[in-house]
Amino acid sequence: MQVPSTPADSARRFLAPLALAQFICSFAGSNMNVMINDITEDLDTTVTGVQATITLFLLIMAVLMIPCSKLTDRWGSKRCFIAGLVLYGIGALLSALSPGLGLLILGNSVFEGVGTALLIPPVYILTTLHFSETTSRARAFGLISGMGGVGAAAGPLIGGLITTGISWRAAFVFQVAIVATIVVLSRRVSDPVAPDPTRPFDAFGAVLSAVGMLLVVLGILQADRDAVLMAVLLAIGSAFLIWFLVHIRARERAGKEPLLSTRLFKNRTSNLGLVTQNIQWLLLMGTSFVVAVFLQTVRGYNAIETGLIFTAATAGVLVSSLAAGRLAKRRAQRTLIIAGFVLTVAGIGLLLALVGVSSRVLAFGPGLLLIGLGLGTMLTPSVNVVQSSFPERLQGEISGLSRSVSNLGSSFGTAIAGTILVSDLASGNTSYVLAMVFLAVLAFIGLTAAVLLPTKPGLGRSTADVPAPRSLDTAAGRG
């Protein structure tokens, strides 16, 4: 006798491929950190070359996230999700077979980056539209955000195990296998909104935003090489971003649909939530890169030893993410975000304090554990704060903006903190301390943004209590 399917079973089947997709994309952003020595030796390249590959992957995700989120309106969320998975799988396979840094950049940075930009916005759009009730939506976002955090935190551990046990190339084969599994599981996902091929697409705005963000991050990567070139790239990149803002305002005045509505930036709660998201991922990826490179290049640890120490961070993210649903029922979202930053600041403090006290690798455990607990505590509330600030018709845009901001944080973390560390690895502890101090300062900025979040019912218990449609319109600046 066949047991009838329950709503909980149906929800799990729907969420499984979406959560797994978020896991593998976050995993891809951090697992290469422990492969740096192996890749540099095998491909005859440098730490800086691998850093550029990782940063470019994160950056391509960030710059294309907004345009790709708009494409979901034209092509449909599920179609974009599947297309992104296919591109990602091709990129992972190319990376596994790469004979040099060039093909690794093409596969890992370009194909996987574009694929991720296509598949991640549908994850959040489909989840928001599928779960209309506040508690169920909170649980869904908790699972997806938690899997993202676990993927980023576990990336060094899993990558280290595979690299040491087999090869760094096998880590990319592992990604191909996961992507194939997601494609099979995605048959259960349905698109609640029909695609509209006639929907306009602001291609010029997409180019302006992508070029601007690309040049800004490339400028940051030049900080330790050429100060003049860095200044030029930052100036040109900023000019493109200003041009982009002028362009989208002009399109709105002309009654045309812009790539990104300026209404999204008129919501104070969402703006502060986006700041916390950006800094959370900057801290996660920045810490992962700095600690992993320091352990391998200064302390001489191999991939598996480096990966094992990140077990502490992985455990922290996993424990706090699994508790996200229960915590959300008992505490305001604002409170959880503040608590997360406090724990993270304490963790960075421990990493700074213990590096000079003990040369043992276990000295990194307590700090990474606190950072993992802190990030896992606040990832889900930050997503809910932003997504729940807008009505259904703006979910495509806000999902793209939210993911773009998060991935910019990831790329900034690897680019800025990594550049501080890589610029003077010979100095040992000094460059490591400077990089971690930089991350601590940004953690305090994130904490300030969290404190400034309004204390209102929408940020109260039961995670982002999503208001009725009319209230949502008001929250988005239309009522």
CATH number, domain with residue 41: 1.20.1250.20
Q: Report DSSP state, residue 106.
A: I
**b or e along 139-161 (b: 16 or more beta carbons within 10 Å of the residue's beta carbon)?**
bbbbbbbbbbbbbbbbbbbbbbb
277 in any annotated domain:
yes
Q: So what's the pLDDT on residue 379?
A: 80
The tokens of 82 are what? 């599947």
> Sign of dihedral through CA atoms 62, 64, 66, 68?
negative
* Same structural domain, 358 and 436: yes
Residue closest to 86 by CA, chosen among 155, 176, 14: 176
Domain count, the chain: 2
Collect all residues with Cβ–Cβ distance below 8 Å to 229 and sequence separation of at least 6: 219, 222
Q: CB–CB of 382/280 below 8 Å?
A: yes
Pair (273, 288) in one structural domain: yes
339 and 270 in one domain? yes
Instruction: List, for residues 404-446, the tens digit of each pLDDT value.
Output: 777 777 777 777 776 776 666 556 677 788 888 889 999 999 9
Beta-carbon neighbour count of residue 230 at 10 Å? 18
Amino acid 333: pLDDT = 83
- Is the same domain home to 147 and 235? no
Whether 348 and 236 share a structural domain: no
User: Contact at 8 Å (CB) between 21 and 119?
Assistant: yes
Q: Is residue 4 part of a domain?
A: no
Cα(138)–Cα(148) distance, integer angstroms: 15
Domain annotation covers residue 7:
no
Do 239 and 285 lie in one domain? The reply is no
Query: Which of 232, 258, 284 is a domain's end point?
Result: 258
Q: Using the 3D structure, point to which of 240, 258, 276 is the last residue of a domain.
A: 258
Q: Are residues 108 and 68 in the same domain?
A: yes
Each residue's pLDDT tens digit, 161-209: 888 888 999 999 999 999 999 999 988 787 777 777 778 888 898 889 8
Residue 1 resides in a domain: no
What is the helix (H) or strand (E) element at residue 364, kind and residue range? none
**Is 8 within the bounds of a domain?**
no
Q: What's the pLDDT score for residue 135? A: 64
| Predicted pLDDT of residue 476 | 30
Residues in the chain, pLDDT under 50: 1-5, 457-479
DSSP 389-451: TS-GGGHHHHHHHHHHHHHHHHHHIIIIIHHHHHTTGGGTHHHHHHHHHHHHHHHHHHHHHHH
Shared-domain flag, residues 408 and 422: yes
Quote the CA–CA distance of 35 and 175 in Å, as a whole number. 15
Q: Are 244 and 404 in contact (CB under 8 A)?
A: no
122 vs 284: CA distance, rounded Å: 23
Task: Specify whether 166 is located in the same domain as 223.
Answer: no
Domain with 248 in it: 202-258
Name the domain boundary from 258, 273, 301. 258
Shared domain check, 370 and 271? yes
**Closest by Cα among 426, 425, 108, 99 to 289:** 425
Q: Does residue 6 belong to any structural domain of this protein?
A: no
Q: Is residue 220 part of a domain?
A: yes
Going from the C-alpha of 345 to that of each of 197, 271, 328, 437, the distances in angstroms are: 47, 22, 22, 10
Give residues with Cβ within 8 angstroms of 390, minimum separation 6. 264, 267, 270, 397, 398, 472, 475, 476
User: Do 359 and 242 share a domain, yes or no?
Assistant: no
What is the C-alpha to C-alpha distance for residues 467 and 134, in angstroms, rounded to an integer?
9
Whole-number pLDDT of residue 189: 80
Amino acid letter for position 127: T
Q: Are residues 165 and 175 in the same domain?
A: yes
Contact yes or no for 158/310 (Cβ under 8 A): no
The CA radius of gyration of the chain, in Å to the nearest whole number, is 21
The answer to the question of residue 225 being in a domain is yes
The pLDDT score that the predictor gives to residue 423 is 63
